[in-house]
Amino acid sequence: MAYRALILYASITGNTEKVAFAFRDALVKYEFQVDTARFGKHDFMERPTYFDNYDLICLGSPIMAALPHQRLMNALGMYEKPGQPRFIKPPEGFDENRTE
């Protein structure tokens, strides 16, 4: 059974898209089944994509003002607290002090 990979990317000038396709080509060479989704053309929120269905997930984004593309960050549940950098919202019940 082949490993499955998802490449989700946003691209403004086309450079990030070139990198995404280079990753796709390399993964296909190593016999991965690869799905690509360009954020913006593919509506990530309308067509559910379950990350659990993949063995590898690659995210690509242009960097603007030292941050990834805003729409991509919003779709992935990233947000900003005043005075702190952006981060991914932890899952319900997550305990950062857990040592196990």
pLDDT at 53: 87
Taking all residues of the chain, what is their mean pLDDT, rounded to a whole number? 77
What is the enclosing helix (H) or strand (E) of 58? strand 56-60
21 pLDDT above the threshold of 80: yes
- Token representation of residue 70: 């805003």
Domain 4-88 CATH (choose: 3.40.640.10, 1.10.1740.10, 3.30.70.270, 3.40.50.360) = 3.40.50.360
* pLDDT tens digits along 59-84: 898 888 777 877 777 666 665 555 55
**Total length of the chain:** 100
- 74-81 long-range Cβ contacts below 8 angstroms, 24+ apart: 75/39, 75/44, 75/45
Nearest to 59 by CA among 78, 84, 85, 80: 78
pLDDT at 78: 66
Contact 37, 61 (CB under 8 A): no
- What residue segments make up the domains of the chain, in order of their start? 4-88
40 pLDDT above the threshold of 60: yes
pLDDT at 51: 80
